[in-house]
Structure 1
Amino acid sequence: MTEKILNAWYRGAWWLYLLQPLACLYLWLRSWHIYRQPKLGKNLLPLVVIGNITVGGTGKTPLVVALVAALKSKGLRCAIISRGYGSKVGAGPHCVTAEDNAHTVGDEPLLLSQLTGVPVVVGWRRKSSIAWLAEQKQFDLVISDDGLQHNAIKGDVEWCLLDATRGIGNGLCIPAGPLREPATKLSQVNQVFTTGMPSSTINANIKHYMQGHTLCHLHPRLDQLKRVFDDLVVPWPDVAKPMFAVAAVGHPKRFFDDLRHRGYDVDGKGYADHYQFKEHDLPQHELIMTAKDAVKCRSWAQAKNNEPPKPWLYATQSLTIAPAQIDALLLELGL
């Protein structure tokens, strides 16, 4: 999705209302698809779905990582399922291994596998992924990375994540706006989270659709800085030094702003989410990228042909989920 369209959606450009007939068609096709789906039965394993209702990055990956860490600390055995956007896996299921790469399984599943250390199963048939995990008889629950709009599954608990600085934009569905489904979905999920810089106006707009449910704000932060070629942790550079950064994520500007909040003068270049970098896209000098981009660029950064490794770095991101949220989740799952 081009940055111009995203900006128009979230800025509320007037001409987007001319596309409302197409948005109505999109909703009709979605309703027709849901109607044709067989009736959903009980999940073979307790299922937590973490997703969003908007186009553009909201920070699901750090939330999934934090949730896995919290559950592991309580002795629970969990696994992750993912569609694997851009992967070659197809319907799956395919469990990510150390031999896989981002081109094969997708950048997000590979990153989740590396960051969490739990099985990540890829395939667009998420129900089949859950069935495969259930057959292993090794897991207490499954976390679906995205999937609120995947009609073949329904989470026992569903968490929705929104960008606090963007909210729901103009409140219209694709292609007239950024919504994947109507904002009334916010009243149907178990918990709504926001990330980014909160705005009282946007929060009020979100709460309007939540029908009294509690809105919880998360505070993701840039954590460690690592070398792309070998994942070694390095010190953050002097803020007096200008920084070149790239990001191929749902909201590149937020990554650049996070770096600026650390005091850096950032020259940032954003790409479309999941963009497959070409080697000539990246300069030979030092740059900083996201962890999601690093999994696609690691092989290029490594030393070869008697040349030194590329001086590329990437920043990890972390957040903390309140213990009360974890306790409420486990209560709702009956665990």
Structure 2
Amino acid sequence: MTQIILNAWYRGAWWLSLFYPLEWVYLRLRKLHLRRQPNPSENPIPLLVVGNITLGGTGKTPLVVALVAALKQRGLRPAIISRGYGGRIGAGPHCVTAKDKPEQVGDEPTLLAQLTRVPVVVGWDRKAGLTWLAEQGQYDLVISDDGLQHSAIKGDLEWCLIDGARGLGNGHCLPAGPLREPSTRLHQVDQVLITGELQPQVKQQLKQLLGAQDDCLLEPQLDQLKRVADDQVAAWPSVDTPLNAIAAIGHPQRFFNDLRAKGYSVAGQGFADHHQFKPQDLPHGELIMTAKDAVKCKPMAQEQNLPWLYATQRLTLPESLVTKLIQQLDLTAKR
């Protein structure tokens, strides 16, 4: 059902017009909520919010991973805050450890902690997490994984990601469309980033909204193949080998298309984002999944010695983007 609705939002199904009255109610309630919120206080440490205004995946995780790596290369000390969606931490703050399970802290924070090797603090009270990190006195800046709609904090800088294939969908807000907030929000962020190949209709949509501007295009690429059970690198199979694949991410079809772009014939099964897998969901034979799915499926793969694999992603950020960020936040690269 979730995938049917997502497809309708991004393809512009006619029957979504039935939800226009509910969209109006949603926007009114949102406006009332924002009016009741106090103005966010000054951040105790420089804060970059990386988010989106649409439902469905836009590639935040590979961007955050690549940005942390680029900042560390320049001698800076970043940390991450996240809501911990799908976990049970509550308000937090809780700093993710190697002993934490994805069902406790969320699948994305678990993956971010593993890939970045920097502190990842979870809890729906992001302000508390930000304050806790500032009190440690060890970090130069904090990256909020998602949070453009979190009114309790305001990023010193805000980056908004847009899927280059799907854009803003039909341009309507929930429940008539995929937007969490009106598209005019893009005028308020500091940087719009487009992930994946930019389709002509999306380029035209953004041009009408934002006018002529240089598109910052980011194209994550599938990189290594690893075993789910022990994270050891495995060889990619011959392109003649049909692949069974699963993905419980915001945009499963993107993962399947990435595999097809490598020449594979793919039988893909998509699940809702953050889906908690049960044994009956997954075949016991060969299977390829995303890294985000692997952190949840690892115990099953280990217990049953299953030959499951997962694909990592690689993203290279433009040097100019990282340099601009450092300058805007008034940070000084250590080397």
Q: Are positions 1:334 and 2:330 aligned together?
A: yes
CA distance in 2, matches of 1:97, 1:214: 40
Counterpart residue identity of residue 165, structure 1: A
CA distance in 2, matches of 1:192, 1:93: 29
CA distance in 2, matches of 1:51, 1:19: 25
Counterpart residue identity of residue 318, structure 2: A
CA distance in 2, matches of 1:8, 1:330: 40
Q: Counterpart in 2 of 1:314? A: 310
CA distance in 2, matches of 1:280, 1:23: 37
Q: Are positions 1:178 and 2:174 aligned together?
A: no
CA distance in 2, matches of 1:47, 1:214: 24
Q: Which runs of 4+ in 1 moved over 3 A?
A: 211-214
* 1:207/1:215 contact within 8 Å kept: no
Q: Which moved more, 1:194-203 or 1:260-269?
A: 194-203
Q: Are positions 1:148 and 2:144 aligned together?
A: no
Map 1:238-317 to 2 at 5 A.
238-303=238-303, 309-317=305-313
TM-superposed deviation, 1:80:
0.3
TM-superposed deviation, 1:242:
0.8
Q: Counterpart in 1 of 2:9? A: 9
CA distance in 2, matches of 1:93, 1:313: 33
* 1:77/1:140 contact within 8 Å kept: yes
Q: Are positions 1:109 and 2:112 aligned together?
A: no
Q: Counterpart in 2 of 1:125? A: 125
TM-score normalised to structure 1 length: 0.97
Deviations 1:104-156 (A, max 9, x none): 00000000000000000000000000000011000000000000010111111
Counterpart residue identity of residue 310, structure 1: L
CA distance in 2, matches of 1:197, 1:51: 19
Counterpart residue identity of residue 24, structure 1: W
Map 1:81-230 to 2 at 5 A.
81-230=81-230
Structure 2 unaligned regions, length at least 5: none
CA distance in 2, matches of 1:211, 1:38: 32
CA distance in 2, matches of 1:138, 1:210: 38
Q: Which moved more, 1:19-28 or 1:53-62?
A: 19-28
RMSD: 1.0
Counterpart residue identity of residue 323, structure 1: E
* 1:76/1:140 contact within 8 Å kept: yes
Q: Counterpart in 1 of 2:236? A: 236
CA distance in 2, matches of 1:294, 1:89: 21
Deviations 1:279-307 (A, max 9, x none): 12111111000000000010110145xxx
Deviations 1:9-32 (A, max 9, x none): 111112212211111111111111
CA distance in 2, matches of 1:176, 1:44: 38
Alpha-carbon distance change, 206 to 289 in structure 1, aligned in 2, over 3 angstroms: same
* 1:94/1:123 contact within 8 Å kept: yes
Counterpart residue identity of residue 319, structure 1: L
CA distance in 2, matches of 1:189, 1:221: 26
CA distance in 2, matches of 1:35, 1:148: 16
CA distance in 2, matches of 1:207, 1:50: 22
TM-superposed deviation, 1:212:
4.8
TM-superposed deviation, 1:200:
2.1
Structure 1 unaligned regions, length at least 5: none
CA distance in 2, matches of 1:220, 1:295: 20
CA distance in 2, matches of 1:135, 1:172: 41
Secondary structure, counterpart of 2:66 in structure 1 = helix
CA distance in 1, matches of 2:187, 2:319: 23
Counterpart residue identity of residue 322, structure 1: P
CA distance in 2, matches of 1:207, 1:226: 40
Deviations 1:78-116 (A, max 9, x none): 100000111110000000001001010000000000000
Identity %: 63
Map 1:34-49 to 2 at 5 A.
34-49=34-49
